[in-house]
Chain A
Amino acid sequence: LTKPVPDPAAGAERLGPDFRLDRGASPSVVNGNDEYALEAALQLVEAHGGEVAILSMAPANATDTMRKALAMGALRGVLVTDPALAGADLPTTIRVLAAAAAGESFDLLLAGLDTSDGQGGAVAAGVAARLGLPLLSNAGAIDPDPATGRVQVRRLSAKGYDVIESPMPAVISCTQALGAPRYPSLKGIMAARSREIAQKAVADLPEAAVPADGVWATRVVEAEKPPARAAGRVVKAPPGEAAREIADFLAGRRII
């Protein structure tokens, strides 16, 4: 599962007047965490065989961003795109992605842990629940065993990690701990141009219906820039003096 998101590095993401993401305001990239998922998927097929396909729900022009993922080595893409899905809420996103995934056969469905433009971090679990599949979340390492049909995941926890295991097929949410994504090679970029991106609309996915009343489950009512922090004090002094300055500051704020 890869989601095109506004490039956080460009720093131009903003919400439009309707409080929806203004997708024209910033160039799109593959969501950072999804690149780790894609890298993990590519390494898994290099080790065990098989193929990597990508699935996105996004505006029609997302094919450009999807080609970047294909250039890394994915063999084909499925893009669910439909004007009726603009600004889709989480339940709908989950229904749509689950319905589209149900049309494919797979051993592992990898998602990013969360997205830089929403950070809900709920899609993988929701898709797993709708598909009736186990969820292996927060993966820092993925180790499938084709012989037993089971997969082990190192699940990063607040304290360290847990080793968890389930039968395949399974849904896995992926973290940066899986390792840095590769850069697409020139050959990959060329090959990606001719790889198939199949487009689907809501009508092609009967399970995926949008709410009949056309009302999304959640609505943003207000958006503002975070309050700017007041300019701080700058200290350039010998270590002992700087240390006293810090200690005075902490005492002034009743931290010590």
Chain B
Amino acid sequence: MPPVILAVAEVADGSLTRLSSEIATLARQLAESAGGSAVGLVVDAAPDAAAADLASYLPLVVAVTAPAVAGEVWAPHAAAEVRRLAGEGITHVLAGATVDGRDLAGTLVGLLDWGLLANASGATWSGDSPEVEAAVLGAKAITKSVLTGNTGIVTVRPNAVETSKAAAAGTVESRTAEGAATPAAAVLERVAEAGAEASLEEARVVVVGGRGVGSPEGFGIVDDLAAVLGGVVGATRASVDAGWIGYARQIGQTGKVVKPSLYLGLGVSGAMQHRVGMQSAESIVAVNRDPDAPIAEVADLFVIGDLFEVGPALLTELRARRGS
């Protein structure tokens, strides 16, 4: 039986997230190599714009208008639609390894009893199953895993694939919502923290301030470098716990996993729990005044120096080069 692979998209501020286009690309590629088909799903209070965008990656997109999502958490509503599609023949579900995507995946495992391959950093089709690559044990091992049955769920990390559009845009089928599959918590308030608009996990450049920045003001140089590099600011647990920056910025075992083209760390020691969140960056540059800081083990360029001297000098240099 050829697989029918569902790409579950997420919407942020009315538009499709970049991760969603990656998941859609992956679903289409897996379906092509499996001889199956791929379908997209958008569940939102106003799904149409995102659904139209998603249809440039997939032959068919189901757009569910779910007004309740405006005032309730998303996963129970998305789970209801996925369950309905499972009844209509969907065999595999791809969702983002995001806060909402993980809630959805777990809810679906509870409801459908399907297997889950979590945190895919890549996937190919192999035999009867997706073969999913993922880092486990704090990135001490990279595993490839498969589903033993004909159904299953995969959560996908950002940057697992390069997005590519389909040759021709697909069709969008509009539906009304089923209602939540499980009791949905009410959302009373959504609070955006300053500087958190840009997605850390999707950023091409991440500039990180560790304990070495010393204070909230110390993050100034981190902010400036991020701005000139077109990047996003990240943090270590030490700088988050000190209250200098929000938890949403934390990279590592208990924070986000990033895979940018450039990771620039200022005053970061490079503890194992931090490294698991950043060591698959393409290029790693670190500035630390301690020549023995463990981050040197993973840095492509390790600069021994004071971040409050090297940082401003780099800012000047980058601005000068940009100006020229």
B and A form one assembly: yes
- Interface of chain B residues 36 through 62 with chain A (CB within 8 A): none
Bound CA span A164–B312, Å? 42
Beta-carbon contact of A121 and B102 below 8 Å = yes
CB contact under 8 A between A15 and B145, given known A156-B99, A156-B247: no
A8-B273 contact in complex given A137-B99, A235-B303, C-beta closer than 8 Å: yes
- Enumerate B176-216 residues with CB–CB distance to A below 8 Å: 181-193, 196-197, 199-201, 205
**B86 at interface, CB cutoff 8 A:** no
A180 to B99, CA, bound (A): 22
Quick check: which of A48-56, A68-76, A194-202, A241-249 contacts chain B, the rest being far away? A241-249
As a 0/1 sequence over residues 262 to 287 of chain B, the CB contacts with chain A under 8 angstroms (1 = contact) are 10000000001100000110111101
Docked CA distance A217–B146 (Å): 9
Q: Tell me if A215 is interfacial: C-beta within 8 Å of chain B.
A: yes
Closest to B247 in A: A177
A155-176 CB contact bits vs B (8 Å, 1 = yes)? 1111111111111001000011
Whether B110 and A125, one on each chain, are in contact in the complex, defined by CB atoms closer than 8 angstroms, is yes
Residues in chain B near residue A81, CB distance under 8 A: none
Contact B137 A239 (CB under 8 A): no
Q: Which residues of A are found within 8 Å of B284, using beta-carbon distances?
A: 229, 232
Do the beta carbons of B318 and A247 come within 8 Å of each other?
A: yes
Determine the distance from Cα of A155 to Cα of B273 in the docked complex, in whole angstroms: 23
A125 touches B103 (CB 8 A): yes
- In the complex, A44 Cα to B123 Cα: how many Å? 42
Q: Do residues B138 and A239 form an inter-chain contact, with CB atoms below 8 A?
A: no
Choose one: B138, B181, B188, B253; the contact of A164 (CB below 8 Å): B188
- Residues of chain A within 8 A (CB-CB) of B248 are 156-161
Number of interface residues of A (CB under 8 A): 96
Q: Which listed residue (A14, A180, A218) contacts B147, Cβ 8 A?
A: A218
For the complex formed, measure the closest distance between the CB of B221 and the CB atoms of chain A, giving whole angstroms. Answer: 12
Chain A residues whose C-beta falls within 8 Å of the C-beta of B111 in the assembled complex: 129-130
The answer to whether A146 has its CB under 8 Å from any CB of chain B is no
Of the residues B138, B201, B262, contact of A8 by C-beta under 8 Å: B138
Say yes or no: B193 contacts A246, CB within 8 Å. no
User: Is B119's beta carbon under 8 Å from chain A?
Assistant: yes
Contacting residues, chain B, for A249 (C-beta < 8 A): 283, 285, 300-301
- The chain A residue sitting closest to B149, CB to CB, is A217
* CB <8 Å contact, B143 and A234: no
Contact bitstring A113-137, B, C-beta under 8 A = 1, else 0: 1101111111111111110111111
When distances are taken between beta carbons in the complex, the residues of chain A under 8 Å from B299 are 232
Whole-angstrom distance from the CB of A1 to the nearest CB of chain B?
13
Give the shortest distance, in Å, between A126 (CB) and chain B (any CB): 4
Contacts of B291 in A (CB 8 A): 234, 236
A229 touches B300 (CB 8 A): yes
A163 and B72 CA atoms in complex are apart in Å by: 10
Residue B115 is within 8 A (CB to CB) of chain A in the complex: yes
| A89, A163, A220: the one within 8 Å of B187 (CB) | A163
Decide yes or no whether B141 CB sits under 8 A from chain A.
yes
Contacts A91-B109, A98-B110, A163-B187; is A232 near B296 (CB within 8 Å)? yes
- A122 in complex: contacting residue of B105, B188, B191, CB < 8 Å: B105
Minimum-distance CB pairs A-B, first 10: A125-B106, A217-B115, A129-B110, A122-B106, A126-B110, A243-B313, A160-B193, A239-B313, A222-B144, A239-B309
Residues of B within 8 A of A (CB): 12, 73, 75-76, 79, 98-99, 102-111, 113-119, 131, 135-149, 152, 155, 181-193, 196-197, 199-201, 205, 229, 237, 241, 246-248, 253-254, 261-262, 272-273, 279-280, 282-285, 287, 291, 296-306, 309-310, 312-314, 316-318, 321-322
CB<8 Å pairs between A and B, sample of 6: A129-B181, A159-B197, A166-B186, A215-B149, A218-B148, A230-B300
Known: A121-B106, A250-B262, A253-B261. 13 other contacts (CB 8 A): A119-B119, A125-B107, A128-B106, A158-B199, A160-B190, A177-B247, A218-B146, A224-B142, A240-B313, A246-B301, A249-B300, A250-B283, A255-B262
